[in-house]
Structure 1
Amino acid sequence: MLFILFGSTVEMGKRSRDFFINNGFELIQKYHYVPDDFVMQERFGERNRVTKDTVLNCDFIYEHNGMLVGFDKKQIIDAVRGRKKCLLTTSAHTIDFIRQIKAAYGEYVTVIGTYIDEQTLNTMFASLPNVSYEEILRRINTGNQIKKCLINERKLFDSIVIYGGDHSTFNFDALVVQYKHLIEKAEKREKELNDKMYVEMPYAENDNYIFVSYSHSDIEIVFPVLRKLQLNGCRIWYDEGINGGENWRKILASKIQSDNCKDFLLFSSNNSIKSRHVKAEINAALNCDKKITTIKTDNATFDIDIEMYLQTYQCLFTGESNFHEKLFKSVDSSVRLNQ
């Protein structure tokens, strides 16, 4: 289970992190490069400060008020795979990442936006030791940017929680009620999803496997099929959906080119025909003369130069009778665990 907390700050952020930790969540480890001229040096001693090169080697990097922040994807993968419960706190600088991970894992990720009224923001910032008026104004501006994100990106957030409000400063009890409700809702939904479409991690050993090519927008169609393959003993390798700072194209190419890649399973959909990544994977498979099995989820078609090659291989439709039985029979026997 992964919770992303967007826009929390100062007292509200600290108390929110403590709440989630006390409820079994693990914080996503973030690394900070703090320049010598950073304006808040005296309040940054508790953060994980590292060299600039260390941050630049992280999977995800963003700039925040003059410092660089980085984190890796291992904890995120563990969270969305059900190994642990994790919390990632983010700001307005991470909207693109939130959009990416939400597209990759959908309802396994709960994105919470925090609304803090200006009176409460002013009170929290003014309570900081040795804070200048200019810094308060800058933080208020950041708070306004966060509120603008909440409005402009509303569909990205599963919920927006409210902290403060008219005649109510630091009403943490009300915030706890909202958090508890969201955790209960996420736990119930995660169980429903796991029963339907939980997929084990991509196969990473040295035996034969199936390479899966798909659009991450289609996981609700694709993952139940992959789950069936795994339950029937098939080794599969697929792109997990968040690429980070790795040279992902080389990794994908090596997985397709490998002699252990015995089948190339292509999910054809209105989303995948528009994906340049899927098209690149198809071309790599064709160049390596891999056997391609196309699974059509709708009536969409690739460009004619691709379709003319795909038509020489087997094509299945998710809605046809005995679909799963036909799929199991189509895969190379050497990709099964019992071989």
Structure 2
Amino acid sequence: MLRIGYKASAEQFRPHELMEFAILAEEVGLDSAFISDHFQPWRHTGGHAPHALVWLGAVGARTSRIALGTSVLTPTFRHHPSMIAQSFGTLGSMFPDRIILGIGTGEGLNEVPAIGCEWPERKERFARLREAVRLIRKLWTEERVSFEGDYYKTESATIYDRPENPVPIYVAAAGPMIAKYAGRFGDGFICTSGKAPALYSETLIPNLEAGITQQERQASDVDRMIEVKLSFDTNLDRAKEDTRFWGALALTPEQKMTVEDPLEMEKLADSLSSDQTASRWIVTSDADEVVERLKPYVDLGFNHFVFHAPGPDQTRFLKQFAADVLPRLRNAYG
């Protein structure tokens, strides 16, 4: 079943503004809203970084239907896995079947300034993530959990307030190993749009499906979610210029992963032209083009599209999107 969601850009807006946008997303007919979990934003000037878990609780109380989650949170450094188990256990018990824990291996920008750690290599970050997931699920399903791993330890720990059904865990992946892990152990898979087509067709999806097969699961066991970078506006020039705030997305993974200061990240992003910053986005004033540009992802099996709009007027975007794009998407792929 096709699901359409909204990306609440914590790096760009104040928390009360984001809350109103998510409420509006539910009102106009969207199915989900995901918030990014940043300790520091991509850029210092005009940037924001509200606490994602506090926001989820507030928005859950102001909405009644829409699914809410993180895209993505790192449960391995500033967030200890046992505290994530407690937090999302509470959220899941308050808002049953509406909360999603979206996780990833993280970025130095968010973790190093907060706790002063030395940012490890990808291998260790992935190992920490796997161990964290094991611990979180044990805490959600067992009592008196004594756990001793390579990175985390608990002693007779109990999560007293947890939902009847465990909160689904979605795993973000940009490479083959984590994509396969998502297929084996994730309830959902997360990636972002706008990269080389071969990454999705030759690396991510084949490895996701290999993981599903390896664990003897069904394809429907894993929700396939993609964050779609969409700058949709009746004014095409404005749609293009709006992408400049998010110039960091056009930097290479190697450039972004090692940067720990938003001032430095901002400087790198501002050196790019609008043509470069727009390269990661669908930039259009044509609703039919949006539908057509999503077809390759639909053909690969993606069923959950979460739209990230870069412009400052999110209310206008949501209303225009709901009026012009949403019916076309549901008619074409729903």
TM-score under structure 2 normalisation?
0.31
Higher relative contact order (CA 8 A, sep 6+): 2
TM-score under structure 1 normalisation?
0.30
From the CA coordinates, give the structure whose radius of gyration is larger.
1
